[in-house]
Amino acid sequence: MLTERGNSATRCGWTPVAPSRHTQRWEPAMTHDDAEETTLGEDVEPAAAQLAEGIRRRRKAAELSHAQLAVKVGYSREYVRRAESPRKGLPSIDLVRALDHALGDDGTLLALREQADAARQARRRSRAHSLVAGMSISAVPTTVAGVPALALDTDGRADTEVAVQAPPGRFFTGTSIAARAYPASDDGRILAAVPTGFADDMFLRRPRRGLVIGITENEHGVSLFGLDSRQARRRLAGAPEGARLLMSRAYALDDLTLGILWAVANLDEALLDDDATLSDSRGQLAAYEQLPRSAAGREIAADLAPVSRMWLGSQFCASHILRHTDTLTDMPAFWTREQRGEEASTWLLFEHKYDYLRQSAGAASGAGTGPTRAFCIPASAVADSSRPERILLLLAVALMESFGITVDVCAEPEYAAVPGFVFDGHRRAIVANWVGADGIWQVDVTDTTPLLREFADATGYARSHSIAAANTPGERLHALANYLELDWAWLVRRCHELGEYGSAGIAQPRSRLLSTEGVDQACRFLALADQGGR
């Protein structure tokens, strides 16, 4: 699956507490992992458990506390403590190397870490074999029997209906995409042999999402290419009888396109179902817009799907920031709480977030330096995310960089629960929280000194310890891709292809609240940035 719901409850660090009249506080939350750090669950690799136990045993043998060992290795106490909990994710190789040296080991910890990493990579490859980590096809013609992990239809009809499953996530409820699969030829072009009169087939006239899949096979194996049903009907309209469906190589079904399709399909389905209710809810929230501080509980939108509540909270937070931006006294520093591609896909696909980035960039134009935005993406969040989801996260960062926003990324889990904010570095901050909030949103405008100090420390640390620290956007994105364990050269090539043709060809939104403009801009920018562009 693209996300593992069994791991989603293991959130890093902190939980929000209801704000008082003058300030907001975020206090530590006890999790199951805090109570039993070394309990081995079914989803923990044995090598990872051995590494955690090895670190703990050697630390105790040296009669060192977590705090004392942290001083010796130059890491935080929390970072060292989490290295002894296999559920918290695999510790970085730099930390293990430092622990190995500080505890006088002979390389055993490093060897255990290598074994655990190899097991993790094998697990990811196993997921990917289920047709790109979770997007699965439940019925295809027998001619594609070489495709791994597909359940094959046995009647072999050319017009066999295909069910493409877009699985659930932390917010996504999961959906199924109706599709038709046809054999295709490859003469430099991908040409699917669709039936005569397919342009008028009811499958292409359905109002909901559909996908036409072309399947090619050669000595290198089987390849699948997708085309949105509306795009397929447009391409076939007016074509003579017997014409084949021309498909683009940019729409090969792989980690990039299936990740986008997963996000679009799940967001689209929920927002379409809740369209009327969302419209009513927006009208009811007008009173909150007059307040500098508010928090909305989920009961005000109890009938909405989780995705729709995400949209409502995100839209309100973006509007709140724009309403109060003129109260800031200097170039703003933003902090955002997204840690995984599922949440970050909203930057790429929610139309209001694209407009928000554009307005924010416009307000900062002409200044000597541009705005910055910081993320905290712990190693555990990377380990718990599939490759398509990590690609979505990288594309969201590329979109921000395309607007002239310098992105910093820290990995220390201590900063995972810092609330979303905009800080002018001096006198005022705008708090805007919808990711991980108790309700739908949590917003404020504050000049409270302790909070400003907390925000200054967080942004300063992220800037000085960014894993994506570099002088150019391309170098920053490349460094982040390495941290997310993504193949940079492959991703640059695929983003160039998809950016040229546009992602709507394979994942055209139906909801008026969604747009693929952000996806396409991110793809084009990432490809351009690799060539030394802006």
Mean pLDDT of 457-486: 93
- Lowest-confidence region among 234-238, 296-300, 463-467, 525-529: 296-300
242/168 same-domain check: yes
pLDDT tens digits, 399-455:
999 999 999 999 999 999 898 999 988 888 998 888 766 668 888 999 999 999 999
- Lowest-confidence region among 242-251, 285-294, 484-493: 285-294
CATH assignment at residue 87: 1.10.260.40
379/310 same-domain check: yes
259 domain residue, yes or no: no
Mean pLDDT of 200-217: 91
Give the distance from CA 480 to its chain's centroid: 13
Torsion of CA 495, 500, 506, 511, to 10 degrees: 100
CATH assignment at residue 419: 3.30.870
81/217 same-domain check: no
Check: CB of residue 217 under 8 Å from CB of residue 143. yes
Mean pLDDT of 118-143: 48
Between the CA of residue 209 and those of 138, 203, 269, 383, 522, what are the distances in Å? Answer: 17, 10, 9, 31, 24
Looking at mean pLDDT, say which of 68-72, 87-91, 407-411 comes out highest. Answer: 407-411
91/160 same-domain check: no
Q: How many CB atoms lie within 10 A of CB 57?
A: 12
200/338 same-domain check: no
418 domain residue, yes or no: yes
Q: Which ranges constitute the DSSP H helices of 198-254? A: 202-205, 229-236
Which one of 409, 440, 468 terminates a domain? 468
| Helical pair 93-102 and 46-61, crossing angle rounded to 10 deg | 30
387/461 same-domain check: yes
| Higher per-residue pLDDT: 527 or 433 | 527
Per-residue pLDDT band at 14 (split at 50, 70, 90):
very low
- Residue type at position 450: P
492 domain residue, yes or no: no
382 domain residue, yes or no: yes
Distance CA 264, CA 267 (A): 5
174 domain residue, yes or no: yes
Give the pLDDT confidence score for residue 404 in this predicted structure: 92
65/157 same-domain check: no
311/329 same-domain check: yes
Number of domains in the chain: 3
Give the pLDDT confidence score for residue 44 in this predicted structure: 57
Between the CA of residue 250 and those of 9, 225, 460, 498, what are the distances in Å? Answer: 36, 8, 40, 5
Run of H or E residues at 348: helix 341-349
Give the pLDDT confidence score for residue 88 in this predicted structure: 60
Mean pLDDT of 217-237: 90
- Secondary structure, 3-state, 128-140: HCCCCCCCEECCE
39 domain residue, yes or no: yes
Name residue, tokens 């495709």.
147
Check: CB of residue 439 under 8 Å from CB of residue 298. yes
Name residue, tokens 């307005």.
359
Residue 248: which domain range?
136-253
| Higher per-residue pLDDT: 219 or 366 | 219
Please compute, for residue 512, the number of CA atoms within 13 A of its CA located in the half-sphere on the CB side.
5
203/160 same-domain check: yes
330/451 same-domain check: yes
487 domain residue, yes or no: no
Nearest to 345 by CA among 380, 305, 310, 303: 310
Distance CA 144, CA 235 (A): 25
Q: What is the pTM of this model?
A: 0.73
Looking at mean pLDDT, say which of 99-108, 321-330, 362-371, 448-457 comes out highest. Answer: 448-457
Which one of 447, 468, 489 terminates a domain? 468
Mean pLDDT of 154-165: 57
166 domain residue, yes or no: yes
Summary mean pLDDT of the chain:
80
Give the pLDDT confidence score for residue 341 in this predicted structure: 94
Distance CA 513, CA 267 (A): 10
278/157 same-domain check: no
Check: CB of residue 201 under 8 Å from CB of residue 192. no
400/318 same-domain check: yes
Which one of 106, 128, 150 terminates a domain? 128
